């Protein structure tokens, strides 16, 4: 089962209240990490 469809099925009820754009972004980020990408958080100083 592809990671994206697995995320959609797993998070369907949890993410339902969110706006469609945010829901798709979270699903895409999760599936990319599942497929082996690394998640990096960068802090920008103003």
**Residue 2 above 80 pLDDT?**
no
- pLDDT category of residue 1 using cuts at 50, 70 and 90: low
Q: How far apart are CA 28 and CA 25, in angstroms?
A: 5
Specify the pTM: 0.56
Q: How far apart are CA 25 and CA 7, in angstroms?
A: 11
Tokens 């754009």 map to which residue? 21
- pLDDT category of residue 46 using cuts at 50, 70 and 90: low
DSSP letter (8 states) at residue 38: P
Could you read off the pLDDT of 8-26 as tens digits, one per residue? Answer: 777 778 878 888 888 888 8
Specify the pLDDT at position 44. Answer: 67
Q: How far apart are CA 43 and CA 46, in angstroms?
A: 10
């Amino acid at each position: 089962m592809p990671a994206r469809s697995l995320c959609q099925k797993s998070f369907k009820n949890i993410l339902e209240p969110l706006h469609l754009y945010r829901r798709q972004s979270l699903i895409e980020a999760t599936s990319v990490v599942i497929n082996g990408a690394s998640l990096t958080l960068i802090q920008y100083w103003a």
